[in-house]
Amino acid sequence: MKKQGLKELDGMPGKHPLSALLREDRMPHIWCPGCDIGTIFSSCLTAIHESKKDYNSFALISGIGCSGRAAGYVKLDSFHTTHGRAIPFATGLKIAKPKMKIIVFSGDGDIFTIGGNHFIHAARRNMDLTVICVNNFTYGMTGGQVASSTPFNAKTSTTPEGNFETPFNLSYIAAAAGAVYVSRWTTLHIRRLTSSILEAFNKKGFSFVEVVSSCPTSFGRKNKLGTPLHIIQHFHKISVIRNGIHPKDANLDIGKEIVVGKFVDIERPTFFDLRQDIYPVEKEEEV
């Protein structure tokens, strides 16, 4: 695949700035009007471009759900896997192709509620993966059911009177399980989100970027959050940047306060480093 940079697209009317990374023949996309997934997807593609790496060195893996559709729209090696299984698939690909940069792009329902066990073990092993989690507090595509990230007392199709379960703090789980890079942003913080994804790409080990996103069609409608613009304005009103705090103290209460920032940026041996100590090999070869 010929790599085409943004400069090559200058002066070409009608071309999207990220056309070199988009499967435009699959447009229009299926995401609802006002959905924030496209914003996060754009930040991911912009970070890929700004990494200055050959596009052929990337692969994007997704699971089932609205966010999982991203794998079908990107002009990279990409795989749309089964529900909750994006991370083990990505792990296998990384072991087979250790020089590739593997991105997991999926939603909170897929990564944590269905695939939570796979997430914690990939972080424990410090697999060299970048996980971008679209957290819209619900199962957006499969009916708007309650998820492990659904806020307390929030309404969903399966909790019409309000959710009575305590939600996960996704960033705290990532840090506790061993991730070397953990950040959280909302879809309001586009430049910071793009920079954070780029940092995650350049980090050796398991990196996690949580993105608080609106789902106006399902979660927003059931909880009377208003239009997509109202939700973004609400993010602006209640978001507080607190870089460097412990993720356990990073509050995520969509009714009161959303703490965002870069929470973890550390070094520790990766899966491949530790394997080398026990099973030394002269050279890591591509299969």
- Name the residue range of residue 207's domain: 34-267
Q: Outline where the chain has alpha helix (H).
A: 37-50, 86-96, 108, 116-125, 170-177, 190-202, 221-222, 228-238, 271-278
Q: Is 204 among the domain residues?
A: yes
Q: Which two tokens stand for residue 41?
A: 């997807």
Q: Is 143 among the domain residues?
A: yes
Q: How far is CA 99 from the centre of its chain?
A: 21
Q: Is 90 among the domain residues?
A: yes
Q: Is 18 among the domain residues?
A: no
Q: Is 16 among the domain residues?
A: no
Rounded to the nearest 5°, which phi and psi values hold at 235?
-55, -45
Q: How far apart are CA 214 and CA 67, in angstroms?
A: 12
Q: What tens-digit pLDDT sequence spans the chain (287 residues)?
A: 444 444 444 445 667 788 899 999 998 998 999 999 999 999 999 999 999 999 999 999 999 999 999 999 999 999 999 999 999 999 999 999 999 999 999 999 999 999 999 999 999 999 999 999 999 999 988 888 999 999 999 999 999 999 999 999 999 999 999 999 999 999 999 999 999 999 999 999 999 999 999 999 999 999 999 999 999 999 999 999 999 999 999 999 998 999 999 999 999 999 999 998 888 876 555 54
Q: Is 80 among the domain residues?
A: yes
Q: How far apart are CA 188 and CA 156, in angstroms?
A: 24
Cis peptide before 28 (omega within 30 of 0): yes
pLDDT recorded at residue 6: 47
State the Cα angle at 21 between 16 and 27, rounded to 5°: 60
**DSSP secondary-structure letter at 9?**
G
Q: How many domains does the chain have?
A: 1
Q: Is 12 among the domain residues?
A: no
Name the nearest CA neighbour of 48 among 79, 15, 78.
Answer: 78
Q: Is 76 among the domain residues?
A: yes
CATH (domain of 43)? 3.40.50.970
Q: How far apart are CA 169 and CA 252, in angstroms?
A: 7
The answer to whether the beta carbons of residues 207 and 179 sit under 8 Å apart is: yes
pLDDT recorded at residue 15: 76
pTM of the model: 0.91
